[in-house]
Structure 1
Amino acid sequence: MLTGLWQVADLEREGPIDVEAAAAAMDAYSQAGFTTFDMADHYGSAEEIAGACASRAPHRDGDLQLLTKWTPAPGAHTPATVREAVRRSLDRLRADTIDLLQFHAWHYADPSWLDCLFTLQELKDEGLIRHLGLTNFDAVHLDMVLHTGIEVVSNQVSFSLLDGRAAGAMTEVCLEHGVQLLAYGTLAGGLLTERWLGADDPGADGVRTWSEMKYRRFVEATGGWDRLQTLLRAVRSVAEKHGVSMANVAARAILDRPAVAGVIIGARLGRSEHIADNLRLSSLRLDDDDRETLAAAGGALDPVPGDCGDEYRRPPYLTAAGDLSDHLDELPSPYPVRSGSGGRTRVDSGTMWEDLAGYCRAVRTGDRIAVSGTTATHGDRRIGGDDPAAQTHYVIDKIEGAIEALGGRLEDVVRTRVFVPELADWEPVARAHGRRFGDIRPANTLVQAGLIGSGYRVEIEAEARVGRSRGNVPE
């Protein structure tokens, strides 16, 4: 069990926190055996508090594990700015090495997130980062990162009896690559506890903390308050059987899942602590009947839409604010846009072949966007390693970024052409294409053809029509 410090930022809405007093509150957790703490660069003064705690006796010998995150603003970052961010966290933590640095990417269609990860890998190699992790990555892009060779050991995602997205493709990717999951939201901001059993829906104005605001949106997405109550009754029945709290049951149910290395339980330092209750988790063992009871209640919920982390990338935004206004102002264009002759606009992606052969990544004339044949190339790197599916997903990310830069969306694509050098790769490539275009259904052709460049398993070109009215076309 990890102790989460997200709520430090929430507490600071009421005013500054006494860092030394909060560090002493952390001490109470560590003395009980909870020596791993999770935080982020944007969790208020959480890193400073953790650094103050780690510098106190008896922790100077490094008995604490301090896990933090870097959540950069979207857009380009130089190696110098990445290093500066890591150094800032090190200074706050009063440490020479970050035990686990977890990286968040806002927009996969903007390839600058990869540049950040490559620099973080270099800083890991230098020893400034002991382990490198991700947070809120979906299964496709976790798989892509791993096939690219970035040494990631964990992914921190929402995972609870209310939100089971991580039990699907995410768990499969983790088991394939030996990556561990760190589960947050396991108690759904406290909604999966006795306090809310039998309670009336407080409504959007009746929840107080950021956690409650956020996870009440999860309740709405999964079918509403009555279905939550059905789940709570199931959790209580299991808790009463074992003589433990509902929180213990909710946490143990996720901790027992494949690939889960830890669950993160939030602490409101100096305000609301549950150390004695948390200690009971280590002795709780759920049996098959318990799991069946919980599964039956969970099966009545609507699935949370999308994959892990999608709540930060597309509607419905299941955040405290219900949108991204608390996190960022806007998403910059994935690629710079240039004007051409005849009213054309174009984007380049920076590959060596664009200048060599005199073409652009994509060009827009009127409502039509044409995207050149695109491989899994980023700068001088091949993304996705030798895996055809991972390469395909990155190719589609590049296509999406080019179309977005020119004012369109991936949903505007009306035609794709897919080229594979090895016919044996058709199925993983087609499945990846289907995962991204399954609801869009453009016209498509897949052919076997030789590709220029070493190691490329797929090339795709696309056409999009932007802003066209459906008119009287029948559904």
Structure 2
Amino acid sequence: MIPRRTLAPGLEISRVLTGLWQIADLERDGRTLDLDAAARAMAPYAEAGFTTFDMADHYGSAEIVAGRFRRAVAPDAPVQYLTKWVPEPGPVCEADVSAAVDRACARLQTDRLDLLQFHAWTFADPRWLDALWLLEAQRDAGRIGALGVTNFDTAHLRVAIASGIRLVSNQVSGSLLDRRFTEKLGPYCAAHGVGLLCYGTVLGGFLSGRWLGAPEPDWDALETWSQMKYGRFIRAAGGWGPFQQLLQAAQTVAQKHGVSIATVASRWVLDQPGVAGVIVGARLAHSAHRADTARLFAFTLDDDDRARIADAQAALTAIPGDCGDEYRTPPFLTASGDLSHHVSQFPAPFTTRRGVDGRTLALSGTVWEPMAGYSRAVRKGNQISVSGTTATHGSRVIGGTDAAAQAHFVIDKLTGALQSLGGRLEDVVRTRIFVSHVDHWEPVARAHGERFGHILPANTLVEARLIGDEYVVEIECDAIVADTITNH
């Protein structure tokens, strides 16, 4: 029996999900895949109790393969199909969201998606929230059973949840080597009923006996995209030497329990707070490790096992940032080391135009700007000033009454204004924070510390009466950009 977990009413998943991302790798460089054979290869997984399959719109033919499995191989099987929508950054409208849902339904040969997971490439552009609200409307219309996200850090999962978006899951990287999910995200998810779905638990196969005692590979000649990606994680965590120590510790634990290194690695992740399931990739019709994976539930890690693993982990360098940062900030821990194979461009979050006296203005489109005669931000020469900013997007207040969530969204808007004028958050030299009540100072200050801790601008925080009872924080900032840009 493979244990199961309820993510949402009517959605019960296997605690080991079968990931279909490797279909894209099998189709790399123009290679073709026998889609019907791949669909038939899904059947043994479902029969063994691994009834939950995870895919995405950009995993090659994964959705099509799953649709053929649903229609021709196992039309009545109790199988869960989890997919993702990963749009390009920029504006999103109802037609875009409807088309994405229609496309996924057509490929999966269904009229209702079990779980749709959304990925945002940048939080500096507030339009990621538009996409989530439009997806909520699709759920209310019965086209989506449940809504999740993928690669959201703790701060922005908090922004979404505090804004009333009903998320049931967050899919992120998590492994013996990448422990970011255990720090803030896992406890937050456990406290708010959001199931963590962890991928990369075996680091593309690196967490296996094959690599124990092996010489450091030629990082430029790896076999799969997964190996290219997780090879970067290994190097970011300190390199091959500390990784070998981790492998040896996992091997000692594995021998004690009569299982594999990969099984120990996945068991450790599965035991962490907030984790609903681990995703183990399958190269359909090429290789299978179902029996080994099923051993996950034949043993438990004891205190000695966890201590041995922790000793090896202590020699590693922590992967930087929070979950999902590898897709948003350098170093990009992706297969190519950048976002070139994911995103074609990042449109400016706000509209810009020329002002008087050589200034460039950034405008957010709020009705208050023309009425009160101001801009969201102004650049003159190499200096940028951003107006007092609240947690407003369109007609909505973002973050509810959660002071930290409001503060994170405000800082996102500051970032978007700076980027629209050729600056970065790292260019900020002063921030001024106004809180509506002194009780809010600490969560707001902590949010400021999370986002500006590596920058350390001059800062002032005061209690002030804000315009609008719904707002608990307002922030403004000044920045100096290193090089003057005359054309924005």
Classify the TM-score, shorter chain. over 0.9
Matching residue within 49, 65, 75 for 1:49: 65
Q: Does 1:12 align with 2:40?
A: no
Matches within 5 A, 1:194-343: 194-343=209-358
Matching residue within 80, 87, 101 for 2:95: 80
Specify the alignment match of 2:479 in structure 1.
464
How far the C-alpha of 1:446 sits from its partner, in A, is 1.2
Specify the alignment match of 2:4 in structure 1.
none
Specify the alignment match of 1:375 in structure 2.
390
Q: Does 1:30 align with 2:49?
A: no
Counterpart code for 1:60: P
Matching residue within 176, 184, 190 for 2:191: 176
Specify the alignment match of 1:473 in structure 2.
none
Q: Does 1:415 align with 2:425?
A: no
CA contact (8 A) 1:2 1:264 kept: yes
CA contact (8 A) 2:69 2:75 kept: no
CA contact (8 A) 1:234 1:294 kept: yes
Specify the alignment match of 1:66 in structure 2.
81
Specify the alignment match of 1:346 in structure 2.
361
How much identity, in percent, do the aligned residues show? 59
How far the C-alpha of 1:329 sits from its partner, in A, is 2.0
Specify the alignment match of 2:179 in structure 1.
164
How far the C-alpha of 1:435 sits from its partner, in A, is 1.2
| Distance in 1, Cα, partners of 2:142 & 2:92 | 21
> C-alpha offsets along residues 62-102 of structure 1, whole Å, 9 cap, x if unaligned?
51100001000011111111110111001000111111111
Q: Does 1:452 align with 2:467?
A: yes
How far the C-alpha of 1:294 sits from its partner, in A, is 1.0
TM-score calculated relative to the size of structure 1: 0.97
> C-alpha offsets along residues 323-347 of structure 1, whole Å, 9 cap, x if unaligned?
1111012211111111112111111
| Distance in 1, Cα, partners of 2:177 & 2:108 | 33
> C-alpha offsets along residues 7-37 of structure 1, whole Å, 9 cap, x if unaligned?
0000001611111110000111111111100
Specify the alignment match of 1:391 in structure 2.
406
> C-alpha offsets along residues 181-212 of structure 1, whole Å, 9 cap, x if unaligned?
00000000000001111111112123110011
Matching residue within 114, 126, 133 for 1:118: 133
Counterpart code for 1:416: T
How far the C-alpha of 1:56 sits from its partner, in A, is 2.9
Paired residues, what number? 468
How far the C-alpha of 1:431 sits from its partner, in A, is 1.0
How far the C-alpha of 1:275 sits from its partner, in A, is 1.3
| Distance in 1, Cα, partners of 2:407 & 2:77 | 43
Specify the alignment match of 2:18 in structure 1.
3
| Distance in 2, Cα, partners of 1:446 & 1:226 | 46
How far the C-alpha of 1:444 sits from its partner, in A, is 1.2
CA contact (8 A) 2:41 2:284 kept: yes
CA contact (8 A) 1:351 1:377 kept: no
Specify the alignment match of 1:438 in structure 2.
453
Q: Does 1:403 align with 2:391?
A: no
How far the C-alpha of 1:350 sits from its partner, in A, is 2.0
How far the C-alpha of 1:298 sits from its partner, in A, is 1.1
Compared CA separation, residues 415 and 81, structure 1 to 2 (3 A): same
Specify the alignment match of 1:425 in structure 2.
440
| Distance in 2, Cα, partners of 1:84 & 1:276 | 39
Matches within 5 A, 1:137-156: 137-156=152-171
| Distance in 1, Cα, partners of 2:82 & 2:128 | 20
List structure 1 runs of 4+ shifted beyond 4 angstroms: none
Counterpart code for 1:80: A
**5+ residue gaps in structure 2?**
1-15
How far the C-alpha of 1:230 sits from its partner, in A, is 0.5
Specify the alignment match of 1:99 in structure 2.
114
| Distance in 2, Cα, partners of 1:65 & 1:85 | 19
Counterpart code for 1:32: A
| Distance in 2, Cα, partners of 1:18 & 1:29 | 18
Counterpart secondary structure, 1:60: coil
| Distance in 1, Cα, partners of 2:348 & 2:483 | 22
Counterpart code for 1:21: A
How far the C-alpha of 1:466 sits from its partner, in A, is 1.1
| Distance in 1, Cα, partners of 2:188 & 2:35 | 39
CA contact (8 A) 2:17 2:53 kept: yes
Matching residue within 341, 351, 366 for 2:381: 366
> C-alpha offsets along residues 219-242 of structure 1, whole Å, 9 cap, x if unaligned?
100011111111111111111111
CA contact (8 A) 2:360 2:379 kept: yes
How far the C-alpha of 1:468 sits from its partner, in A, is 6.3
Greater mean deviation of Cα atoms: 374-383 or 13-22: 13-22
